[in-house]
Amino acid sequence: MIPELGNFALYIAFAFSILLSIFPAIGLKQNNTRLMAMAPNLTIGLFVFTLFSFACLAYAFLTDDFTVVNVAQNSNSLLPIHYKFAASFGSHEGSFLLWLLMQSGWSFAVAIFSKGLPVDMRTRVLTVLGWISVGFYAYIIISSNPFERTLPYFPIDGRDLNPLLQDIGMIIHPPLLYMGYVGLSIAFAFAIAALLSGNLDSTWAKWSRPWTAAAWAFLTLGLTIGSWWAYSELGWGGWWFWDPVENAAFMPWLVATALLHSLAVSEKRNAFKSWTVFLAIAAFSLSLLGTFLVRSGVIVSVHAFATDPERGVFILVLLTLVIGGSLLLYSLKAGNIKSFGKFSVFSRESMLWSNNVLLVAATMVVLMGTLLPLVHKQIGLGTISIGEPFFNQMFTYLIVPFALLLGIAPLVRWKQDKLNNFIAKPLVVIAISLTLSLTWLFAEFDEIKPLALLGATLFIWIMLFTALELKQTLNKVSFSKLPLSHFSMVLGHIGIAFILAGVGLTSQYSVERDVKMNIGDSAELKGYEFTFEQINNIKGPNYEGWAAEIYITKQNKFVAELHAEKRFYPVQRNTMTEAAIDAGFFRDIYISLGERLPDGAWALRIYVKPYIRWIWLGGIIVALGGFLTLFDRRYRNKKALAKG
Amino acid sequence: MTTKKFNFRLVPLILFVLLLAVLLKGLFSDPRERDSALIGKAFPQFQLPDLYDDSKQHTEKTLLNEAVLINVWGTWCITCKYELPYLAKLANEYDVKIVGLYYDQNYAPEFGQFADIPAIRVEVKDMLARLGNPYQYNILDLDRSLSLNLGVTGAPETFLVDANGIIRMHHMGDVNERIWREKLAPIWNEINQ
């Protein structure tokens, strides 16, 4: 009964999306305000019915309704309750319904919070969102309905959720990423609406900025938590794998970062406008491309869902319509966009332009690295794989100019500045940064590694310049008068600095050791003494396995006691390594339990990873910066918005 | 005279169209086709003992000359219990030859858990006596090597293999009347005509 209601609600939501895509558009054409006024109400209906539908699916999972195919295949009566909930979006169908919930949720937010916009603009934006929705709802109803029944012959128990996904990171990381992905559709809708109306003044940039910042902040948080999930759950101590699906989420982030900066120029200086529109289209297009890659089975990845070419074809058609259509519109209409703001070769504008060039270059690198193996195979040259070394090397080249500019740019004036002012200061700062980082690394690690030195130096460089800029600005404007978006920038930049330091140090100074231990044995790594205390048989709700108890000391002082587990999930016949981690601001100790050897001893892998937390700390700081923008008075004040 | 300048804004669109072509092609040459990759292929080679009799060995050749359903199962598998009576009906009423591929989920030597074969035999006989016995014989896949080669991800799963030892269909989950009618029977009837 409940699944039928959910299914029915989904159909109603689909009907709402069709209405939303048609009537307000007619209203715009005929200048009929009554038809235009339907848009917000239809959007609210769309959201409410989708929410209800999602609630029905979650209910089916929570109550073990194995008459629903999706539940039978992805849940199990023994699964703990929070994972039953997570399982409702762990499958292809369920996650797509979650996607729709968010899509309609964002549209709902636009309908509610954009009352300050001119009616025609608001209608146009909602109509564009309606068009996108029609495609997505049609897709889920036709080829991925999560409410399909197993009746009349239903299994007595389900096939269980993939153990990899049975983790707290799994409950929060996909929804955050989807919030980001889907949120970019708002910036996209604003850009398309502006192109359609031909009215691309700087107000457009002002309207879409907070929405872009919000989506981008969610994406940042999603990536950060995804990275942390991989680290804590996949059991081999890595935090970024350049997996095609990670890349698929990383590309929209890179482009959205470029978009945020380019929007600032469009808004404040009336320049880069056509380019900004392009970035808005590109950011959402890359989100869709990512969806295609994950769900079509074209690539192999830990993230990929079960494959089904029919679904792939459907998404490909959607891609063609949305991306192809918007790029066509762009090529036809963007020629009319005139940017009036003039700027010289050395100015804030040119700095932000370099930022955009570097970010787009980085996106191209990731795109190439992700798709080249596919292209290579399709044109008959056989299988190649492009792995970490390629990406790491390319990103090392790109990050140096990026980080150096990131430090200076906020100090450079709009329109024009004197290059002479920027010779002495950077030289002094780089000298200080180098000295400090050399001291730091030498004191802590006794050994200088070039890439670690690079990370540490860039970290200090960005921190010093950010402090300088803040001081300079506060000389002119009092602290309380400084707009919040300025702090967003500061946080964003500091966060990047932490990520750079974290990546540089942890990649260079992490150590690992494979040991074979019997109960009572000890091993040493980086000054830590690891003692294998005991091993216990454990039994969880839907798994059983072994837990090793390891006692860690440093110079005879207690550091931590860790339990590394190896679990066996009978229903899925899957073995999982649950790493044990002692987390710290300056270092992590990470232990994963390997096999039991024939002589009864156990294989263990021990890692000490300095500064790895800085990567996620940085990510969280960056995301905070993004969210802070939303509270900036300039974007919250309706009058200011309307006036532009 | 106007010379038309190339519209550089078309570049992204052109690149996108090229990308589409690649993606479309990629879609139909799935790199990880799991199920369908097995269909049409020969049943993997194996040599495994009979569940009841260690001295008796089965190989892929024992399966030849007659169409057969290979049913992957275990006494620990709840869904299998619900599947057994229907399979027994297929075997008894429709003369479908069914061979069991038995594996023990608790067997995990790396965890120091070994299988108690005599106990398993008692359990299996007891269960088949209660729920019906569809199997001509059972193959014991203790280290799951054959299951692995078959890409089995859980129990129950069923493979339809023709008289030439070619896998014709693979079903994950229980076989019930609907599945038999819609998915397996058409092929079964075609083979046995």
Q: Which residues of A touch B23 (CB under 8 A)?
A: 292, 296, 298, 316, 319, 374
pLDDT at A123: 94
Residue A126 CA to residue A25 CA, distance in Å, equals: 10
- Of B8, B22, B12, B15, the closest CA to residue A327 belongs to B12
Of B10, B79, B105, the CB nearest to A331: B10
A571 found inside a domain: yes
A514 has pLDDT over 50: yes
Out of A166, A197, A219, pick the residue that ends a domain: A166
State yes or no: pLDDT of A299 exceeds 70.
Answer: no
Range in A188-197, A307-316, B122-131, B145-154 with the lowest mean pLDDT:
A307-316
Q: Which pLDDT score is estimated for B35? A: 46
How many C-beta atoms surround the C-beta of residue B147 within 10 A? 19
pLDDT for position A156: 67
CA distance A373 to chain B (A): 11
Query: Per the domain annotation, does A588 fall within a domain?
Result: yes
Residue whose pair of structure tokens reads 């359990």 in the numeric block: B123
Nearest chain B CA: its distance from A543 CA (Å): 11
Closest residue to A374, CB basis, from B22, B111, B154? B22
pLDDT at residue number A421 = 82
Radius of gyration of chain A (CA): 26
Token pair listed for B101: 């591929």
Helices (H) and strands (E) in chain B, counts: 7, 7
Residue A68 lies in a domain: yes
Report d(CA A202, CA A266) in Å as an integer.
Answer: 6
Question: Residue A553's pLDDT is what?
Answer: 93
Nearest to B32 among A160, A307, A316 (CB): A307
CB-count exposure of residue B76 (10 Å: 0-12, 13-18, 19+) = middle
Residues of A in Cβ contact (< 8 Å) with B7: 331, 335
**Residue A528 sits in which domain range?**
511-611
Residue of A nearest to B105 (CA): A570
Distance to chain B for A570, nearest Cα, Å = 6
Q: What is the average per-residue pLDDT within A590-611?
A: 88
How far A61 CA lies from chain B's nearest CA (Å)?
18
Least confident of A340-344, A575-579, B33-37: B33-37
Q: Is the pLDDT of residue A640 over 60?
A: no
| ipTM value for the complex | 0.77
3-state SS, residue A512: strand
Task: Say which range, A16-25, A525-534, A633-642, has the weakest mean pLDDT.
Answer: A633-642
Q: Per-residue b/e over A186-221, b at no fewer than 16 CB within 10 Å?
A: bbbbbbbbbbbeeebebbbbbbbbbbbbbbbbbbbb
What residues of A are in contact with residue B182 (Cβ under 8 Å)?
Answer: none
Please tell me which of A568-582, B90-104, B111-125 the model is most confident about, judged by mean pLDDT. Answer: B90-104
Q: Which of B25, B29, B32 sits opposite A300 (nearest CB)?
A: B32
Q: Is residue A584 part of a domain?
A: yes
Task: With CB atoms and an 8 Å threshold, state whether B7 touches A571.
Answer: no
Look at residue A215 and tell me if it is in a domain.
no
Is pLDDT above 80 for A271? Answer: yes
Helix, strand, or coil here: A449? coil
Least CB–CB distance from A323: residue in B16, B28, B173: B16
Which residues neighbour A33 within 8 Å (Cβ) at sequence distance 6 or greater? A27, A119
pLDDT classification of A560: cutoffs 50, 70, 90: very high
Question: Which pLDDT band holds residue A276 (cuts at 50, 70, 90)?
Answer: very high
Q: What percent of chain A has pLDDT over 70?
A: 91
Rounded distance between C-alpha atoms, residue A539 and residue B53, angstroms: 33
- Residue A253: what pLDDT? 96
- A643 pLDDT higher than 50: no
Q: Select the more confidently predicted residue: A202 or A97.
A: A97
Q: Check CB contact under 8 Å for B153 and A307.
A: no
SS (H, E, C) A534-588: EEEEEECCCCEEEEEEEEEEECCEEEEEEEEEEEEECCCCEEEEECEEECCCCEE
B32, closest residue in chain A (CA to CA): A300
How many residue pairs from chains A and B have C-beta atoms closer than 8 A?
111
Asked whether residue A328 is domain-assigned, the answer is no
Percent of chain A exceeding pLDDT 90 equals: 52
Residues on chain A touching B108 (C-beta within 8 angstroms): 568
Does the distance separating the beta carbons of B173 and A300 come in below 8 Å? no
Give the position of tokens 């762990």. Answer: A90
Say how far apart CA B99 and CA B174 lie, in whole Å. 15
Q: What's the rounded Cα separation, in Å, for the pair A610 and A619?
A: 17
Average pLDDT, chain B: 82
Looking at residue A104, what is its pLDDT? 96
Instruction: Quote the distance between the C-alpha of residue A297 and its chain's center.
Output: 21
* Residue B75, phi then psi, degrees to nearest 5: -70, -20
Q: List the one residue out of A319, A266, A328 whose CA is nearest residue A291.
A: A319
Do the Cβ atoms of A566 and B25 come within 8 Å?
no
Instruction: Tell me if B173 and A155 make a contact (CB, 8 A cut-off).
Output: yes
CB contact under 8 A, B174 and A155: yes
**DSSP class of A307:** P
Note whether B31 contacts A300, CB cutoff 8 Å.
yes
Contact (CB<8Å) B26/A568: no
**Segment of A181-185, A535-539, B11-15 carrying the highest mean pLDDT:** A181-185
Determine the Cα angle at A616 with ends A615 and A621, to 5°.
100
**Strand-strand pairing, B98-102 and A528-539:** unpaired
Beta carbons within 10 angstroms of residue A594's beta carbon: 18
Does the pLDDT of residue B1 top 50, yes or no?
no
Nearest-CA distance B65 → chain A (Å) = 32
Q: Which of A115, A132, A166 is the last residue of a domain?
A: A166
Instruction: Kindly state whether residue A112 falls inside one of the protein's structural domains.
Output: yes
Average pLDDT, chain A: 87
For residues A234-263, give the mean pLDDT.
87
Q: How many domains does one find in chain A?
A: 2
Could you count the other beta carbons within 10 Å of the beta carbon of residue A51? 17
pLDDT digits (tens, 9 = 90+) for A99-127: 999 999 999 999 998 888 888 899 999 99
Per-residue model confidence as pLDDT tens digits over A67-94: 888 888 788 887 888 888 888 888 888 8
Search chain B and give the residue with CA nearest A150: B178
Q: Tell me, what's the pLDDT at B65?
A: 84
User: Which residues in chain A have their CB less than 8 angstroms from residue B30's CB?
Assistant: 297-298, 307, 309
Closest residue in chain B to residue A535, using alpha carbons only: B111
pLDDT (tens digit, 9 = 90+) per residue, A154-211? 666 666 666 656 667 777 888 899 999 999 999 999 999 999 988 777 788 888 999 9
Q: Mind listing the pLDDT tens digit for each residue in A128-153?
A: 999 999 999 999 998 888 888 876 66
* Residue of A436 and A643 predicted with greater confidence: A436
Predicted pLDDT at B31: 45
On the 0-12 / 13-18 / 19+ scale of CB atoms within 10 A, A471 is exposed
- As a whole number, mean pLDDT of residues B144-172 equals 83
HSE toward the beta carbon, residue A243, CA cutoff 13 A:
18
Ranges of beta strands (E only) in A118-263 are none
3-class state of residue A483 by DSSP: coil
Question: Measured between CB atoms, which of A320, A335, A374 is closest to B7?
Answer: A335
- Asked if the Cβ–Cβ distance from A371 to B22 is below 8 Å, we say yes
A275 domain-assigned: no
What's the confidence (pLDDT) of residue B139? 92
Tell me, what CATH number does A113's domain have? 1.20.120
* Interface contact B20-A377, CB threshold 8 A: no
B105-143 pLDDT, tens per residue? 767 666 666 777 888 888 898 888 888 899 999 999 887
B64 pLDDT above the threshold of 70: yes
A214 to chain B nearest CA, in Å? Answer: 26
A101, A135, A166 — which closes off a domain? A166
Structure-block tokens of residue A85: 């909930």
Q: Does the beta-carbon distance from B26 to A298 stay under 8 Å?
A: yes
Instruction: Flag if B13 and A316 touch (Cβ within 8 Å).
Output: no
* Residue A304 pLDDT greater than 60, yes or no: no
A300 vs B155, higher pLDDT: B155
Domains and their CATH numbers in chain B: 36-191 (3.40.30.10)
CA distance A284 to A196: 17
Question: To the nearest whole angstrom, how far is the Cα of A595 from the nearest Cα of chain B?
Answer: 6
Taking the Cβ of residue A75 and every Cβ of chain B, the question of whether any pair is shorter than 8 Å is answered with no
Instruction: Check CB contact under 8 Å for A378 and B178.
Output: no
Of A77, A300, A307, which to mutate for an interface test with B (greatest number of B Cβ within 10 Å)?
A307
**For A486-493, what is the mean pLDDT?**
94
User: How confident is the model over A380-426, as pLDDT tens digits?
Assistant: 666 666 777 888 899 999 999 999 999 999 999 888 888 888 888 99
- Counts for chain A of helices (H) and strands (E), in that order: 20, 9
Query: How many angstroms separate the CA of residue A599 from the nearest CA in chain B?
Result: 11
Query: What pLDDT shows up at residue A313?
Result: 81
Distance from the Cα of A67 to chain B's closest Cα (Å) equals 13
